[in-house]
């Protein structure tokens, strides 16, 4: 039987020889058939959150975002999943009074925290003043971004009351003024594809106690 000279071996011959060596001489198809998927269950952890003034204990994957914990586990679907990259603000909720993008944080990082979603602000029967102002001023069209806009607006007014400046604050040492420029800057992380920005600004300023 003729055996090819090592100098005449093709690239295919070299790859097949290497594969056979790596599998101990077992044909590749047979080796592949012995590979079984892992049966190790995904480890879960327990986390307790105070969501809209109710204690909620969940058994979740440690990789679960706060957004998915709210939507998929607690079925609070008012909080929307938009970009899932922290760029649109549709998932904004308040954690211990501070607004955050819930898609960018893990639920297990907020053990014992007070989480407020749009459902916790008001209901159709008893709306929060910000919700009522959005209705009055047509601060929405499709409504997808609206829950995040409202949560962000409520927290933003508290930031101004606390004297926290923004990039457009004229004097960093004095109390920020609730001007349209301040509102636009502070709400710039919440996008509205329908373009209801001017109406949103009017609603926020009215709730804050200034003329729209």
pLDDT, tens digit, for every residue of 20-61?
Answer: 555 455 454 544 555 555 677 788 999 999 999 999 999 999
Q: What is the pLDDT of residue 41?
A: 78
Lowest-confidence pick of 57-66, 165-174, 203-212:
203-212
Given a cut of 80, whether residue 67 has pLDDT beyond it is yes
For 87-98, the DSSP string reads SS-TTEEEETTE
pLDDT, tens digit, for every residue of 167-177?
Answer: 999 888 889 98
Contacts of 19 (CB under 8 A, 6+ apart): 28
Contacts of 162 (CB under 8 A, 6+ apart): none
pLDDT, tens digit, for every residue of 104-155?
Answer: 999 999 999 999 999 999 999 999 999 999 999 999 999 999 999 999 999 9
Q: What is the pLDDT of residue 13?
A: 66
State whether residue 174 is helix, strand or coil. coil
Domains of the chain with bracketed CATH: 43-120 (3.10.20.30), 122-212 (1.10.150.120)
Q: What is the pLDDT of residue 21?
A: 55
């Amino acid at each position: 039987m003729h055996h090819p000279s090592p100098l005449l071996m093709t690239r295919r011959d070299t790859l097949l020889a290497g594969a056979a060596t790596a599998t101990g001489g077992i044909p590749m198809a047979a080796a592949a058939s012995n590979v079984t998927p892992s049966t190790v269950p995904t480890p879960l952890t327990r986390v307790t959150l105070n969501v809209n003034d109710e204690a909620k204990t969940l058994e979740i994957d440690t990789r679960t975002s706060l957004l998915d914990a709210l939507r998929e586990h607690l079925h609070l679907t008012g909080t929307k999943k938009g970009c899932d990259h922290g760029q649109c603000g549709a998932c904004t909720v308040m954690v211990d009074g501070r607004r955050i993008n819930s898609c960018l944080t893990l639920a297990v990082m907020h053990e014992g925290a007070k989480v407020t979603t749009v459902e916790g602000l008001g209901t159709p029967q008893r709306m929060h003043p910000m919700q009522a102002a959005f209705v009055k001023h047509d601060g929405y069209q499709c409504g997808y971004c609206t829950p995040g806009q409202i949560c962000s607006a409520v927290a933003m007014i508290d930031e101004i009351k606390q004297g926290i400046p923004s990039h457009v604050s004229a004097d960093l040492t004095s109390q920020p003024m609730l001007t349209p420029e301040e509102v636009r800057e502070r709400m710039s992380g919440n996008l509205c594809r329908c373009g209801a920005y001017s109406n949103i600004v009017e609603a926020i300023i009215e709730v804050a106690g200034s003329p729209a």
